[in-house]
Structure 1
Amino acid sequence: MPHHPLRRVPALLCVALLAATTACGTGDGADAATADIELSVATFNEFGYEDLLKQYQDTHPHVRIVHRKTGKADDHHQALFTRMAAGSGLADVEAVEEGWIAQVMAKADQFNDLSKIGPSDVTAERWLQWKSDSASTKDGELIGYGTDIGPMAMCYRRDLFDAAGLPSDPEAVGDLFSSWEKYFAAGDKFVENSGGKAWFDSASQVFNAMVNQNKVGYYDLDDKLVVETNPAVKADWDQVTAAVRNGQSANLVAFSNEWNTAFKTGAFATKTCPSWMLGVIEAQAGPENEDKWAVTAAFPGGAGNWGGSFLTVPKQSKHPKEAAELAAWLTAPEQQIKAFTAKGAFPSQNEALLSPALLNQTNPYFGNAKVGALFAEQANKVPAAQHKGPGSGQIQDKVFSDALQAVEHGTKADEAWKQAVAEAEKVAK
């Protein structure tokens, strides 16, 4: 995730852009007067479920669905863990992003084993092995049904590349994105010739993509924090902060109002682009920028995965069997392909990754790019998901995001690094 993509904003969209969690019904297929049960579904950002929830309601008139949708993943998960601690307030189906799944797995006893309460024909084999492994306990309990994954590509503005004298065809840009060294070197050239435009949106967005490519991230396999001792993380930090120093960053906070507006005004030229980012770009850049954006499979450092989520059924649910049935239906290959079409949430199901319905998909907003085949190719390059420790999500989305924002606003990189290490250690305690 997420994870995680937007084609068109449906009339039924219920958006909570900040910390507040809002709820909305999903249509008139079932209402409080006629439905036998009510199921709540809590997601964040864009899962592509608006039309799907309405479809499920239309075909299950005894069910009324309430969709709680939060704008930011961090806000959603803060609310999730607060309600877990309180013992009340959780939705029947709770989405969990990969950066937070370790924290949920540490409290697996608060969630239903979907292999027992879910449909008997839905097993872990539905998903890529590394996806289902991430939500399985050592005892073989399946705590989450996989939704999407975030195979990485690069998105960029063709028109801004042309204006700065850089190649702009998706095939021709491959060399610019063949390594992080070449990516940042191209950024220096772009800044010199762009007339004030930035190369990328946010230091943390680039840094996150780089860290997620590493075999080991913020935690080792024993859930020991290794931020300070992992040379790969520090090397990524040094490269990104050097680029900030050279004026490549637009100094924006991802998912802020200013960041949203910057897509419309063309304030930056490139965007690290997990599959779910396509929908975000389209929604924020708007119809006036259609065909100015392009996407290419060339990605610095090779393959990577950033994001992707799971649907869980907390034991707080009063209707766990029905909730599991809904979660199983939403994460079936057919539905996840529709979610990709709607919002760019790339499927994690083995069957979906082989489906012509996915592989033949193009995206008119990005110059009719063959996005289905492109991201399937990128997904198949990922050997395994990076292990996420208990605080990985918070360290990524809060600790390093704040530290890199400080660098973007003038704090020395070495000073910000020391502060990030100290804050990460607080999270890990």
Structure 2
Amino acid sequence: MDLSRRTLLAGGLAAVIGGTVVACSSGMDTGSAKKNATGNLALWCWPGGLGKSVLDDTIAHFPDQHIKFSEVGGDFKQKLLTTFSGGTSIPDITGIKGEDIASLLPQASRFVDLKTIGADDAFLGQYLEWKVKQATTLDGKVLGIPIDIGPTALFYREDVFTAGGLPGDPAAVGAQMKSWDDFLQAGVELKAKNPKAFIVADAVDMYGTIVNQGTSRYIDKDNKFIGDQDHIRKAWDTAVKAITLKVDGKNLGGTNDWNAGLDQGTVPTVVGAAWVALDIKAAAKTSVGKWRVAPTPGGPANFGGSFLAITKNAADPKAAFEVIKYMLSPDNEAKAFADAQIFPATPAAYDKPQLKAADPFFGGQVPIDVFGPAAKDIPIAYEAPLDAAIAVPFTDALKLVQVGKKTSDAAWAEAIEKAKQIGKRQGVQ
């Protein structure tokens, strides 16, 4: 899991998906992959993608594999593709980010179908079904085992809510703010008593969350553009409503204003994945213990989460799979959560002590009580390889509405036109 996640909190958030069934089957033919030399197992991941204690333990647990771990910074996907093209120094095991999986599945022939080397139904059943499907081709090949997921929740300032006449208890917040309309109405009430407090941190982020709560996105399984249909327009209109009600703080995640607002109470909520807790905790200096966690308005969604895959170049795919099985066991996924809030993709980890502990930052609340049920209820949606690219015109156009440069209808029409052009150039109907 990438700990430099700020881009996920802005417009790029729409490119990161919830539970998805991804496109394509065998992908391009890469020919016979050149096998790596035996005796060393090369493992690639990005900074923060694997828990340090788990990684160290795994390396020690498989001395005969001589695991060589490379922490690859920068654009991980691009570096992996460049290495594939070069044909040398290709890792045996590689991480794949959740936001990249759909675009990489057309190149499925570069990876081992894990079902052929031991990933049977019993093994895969340890992991959340929607997450496994995200790394499964339409013809049933499984290319990755989940490292983690990103179930969402509503992080909020209990003190700001109660001072503004809203409930403070997480159960009461969840009951009052079940829908986005409920949430926005609460924002109006809050702002009436505290004009500096905006219940929506950023309406563009909110749009991405709502899209991720659905079971359809921008392209369907028949490769037809559906971004002009009601499910996307509803997400758009709800985000625009936040803008017109003036409860949108326009605070882009990760900026100095966002960080300061978290601590000062002008950004009293963040709807984000479990890993966003790290960002909030890093920004908080005087608000420790004042934060709480409640269910996401409108239902759960997922942002982020990644996989380990085995390349066709692996010298010994079965040995590599044993390494993955060990590293991503429920016990080790729980340890990774303790290391760096890497949220487990296997529900058996949710009862481990590392996840059941009360968190003083959240006033002694046990966050897994919110995130666990959300993780199990993530909706399954199909994501085409081009889906992320087609989402960009929508978030770009919504930003124009946000700053008052376009009306909602004009921006919507522009987004549709640009999205269709992008799709048409790539064969989307």
TM-score above 0.5: yes
Shorter-chain TM band: 0.7 to 0.9
Are 2:371 and 1:369 equivalent residues in the alignment? Answer: no
The aligned residue for residue 35 of structure 2 is none
The aligned residue for residue 27 of structure 2 is none
The residue correspondences of 1:287-302 to structure 2 (distance < 5 A) are 287-297=285-295, 299-302=296-299
Distance 2:90 2:285 in 1: 37
Contact between 1:38 and 1:66, CA under 8 Å: does it hold in 2? no
The aligned residue for residue 387 of structure 2 is 392
TM-score (norm 2): 0.79
> Are residues 69 and 362 of structure 1, via their aligned partners in 2, closer, same or farther at CA, if it must alter by over 3 Å?
farther
Distance 1:419 1:314 in 2: 41
> Are residues 320 and 262 of structure 1, via their aligned partners in 2, closer, same or farther at CA, if it must alter by over 3 Å?
farther
Distance 2:97 2:236 in 1: 24
The aligned residue for residue 56 of structure 1 is 58
> Are residues 17 and 189 of structure 1, via their aligned partners in 2, closer, same or farther at CA, if it must alter by over 3 Å?
closer
Q: CA RMSD in A?
A: 3.3
The aligned residue for residue 332 of structure 2 is 335
The one-letter code sitting in structure 2 at the alignment partner of 1:389 is: A
Q: Identical aligned pairs, as a percentage? A: 29
1:256-292 per-residue CA deviation (whole Å, 9 max, x = no partner) reads 5554454344431111132232233223x23533212
The aligned residue for residue 26 of structure 1 is none
> Are residues 418 and 137 of structure 1, via their aligned partners in 2, closer, same or farther at CA, if it must alter by over 3 Å?
same
How far apart are residue 233 of structure 1 and its match?
0.9
Distance 1:184 1:38 in 2: 52
Q: 1:425 aligns with which of 414, 420, 425?
A: 420
How far apart are residue 293 of structure 1 and its match?
1.3
Distance 1:185 1:374 in 2: 23
The one-letter code sitting in structure 1 at the alignment partner of 2:53 is: D
1:130-178 per-residue CA deviation (whole Å, 9 max, x = no partner) reads 3222222344432001122333321111122233232222122224311
Distance 2:394 2:89 in 1: 30
Are 2:46 and 1:43 equivalent residues in the alignment? Answer: yes
The aligned residue for residue 212 of structure 1 is 212
The residue correspondences of 1:147-226 to structure 2 (distance < 5 A) are 147-226=147-226
Where 2:383 maps in the other structure, the secondary structure is coil
1:204-248 per-residue CA deviation (whole Å, 9 max, x = no partner) reads 2211111111121222233422111x2011011011112123322
The aligned residue for residue 11 of structure 2 is none
Q: Which runs of 5+ in 2 are unaligned?
A: 9-38
The one-letter code sitting in structure 1 at the alignment partner of 2:187 is: G
Contact between 1:152 and 1:375, CA under 8 Å: does it hold in 2? yes
Contact between 2:293 and 2:370, CA under 8 Å: does it hold in 1? no
The 10-residue stretch of structure 1 (343-352 or 268-277) with the greater mean CA deviation from structure 2 = 343-352
How many correspondences in the alignment? Answer: 392
Where 1:411 maps in the other structure, the secondary structure is coil
The 10-residue stretch of structure 1 (409-418 or 320-329) with the greater mean CA deviation from structure 2 = 320-329
> Are residues 18 and 181 of structure 1, via their aligned partners in 2, closer, same or farther at CA, if it must alter by over 3 Å?
closer
Contact between 1:154 and 1:272, CA under 8 Å: does it hold in 2? yes
The one-letter code sitting in structure 2 at the alignment partner of 1:141 is: K
1:363-398 per-residue CA deviation (whole Å, 9 max, x = no partner) reads 22212222223222222334x4211111233444x4
The 10-residue stretch of structure 1 (355-364 or 331-340) with the greater mean CA deviation from structure 2 = 355-364
Distance 2:73 2:384 in 1: 25
Contact between 1:48 and 1:340, CA under 8 Å: does it hold in 2? no
1:4-50 per-residue CA deviation (whole Å, 9 max, x = no partner) reads xx7xxxxxxxx69889xxxxxxxxxxxxxxxx636342236x54523
Distance 1:288 1:317 in 2: 50
Contact between 1:151 and 1:304, CA under 8 Å: does it hold in 2? yes
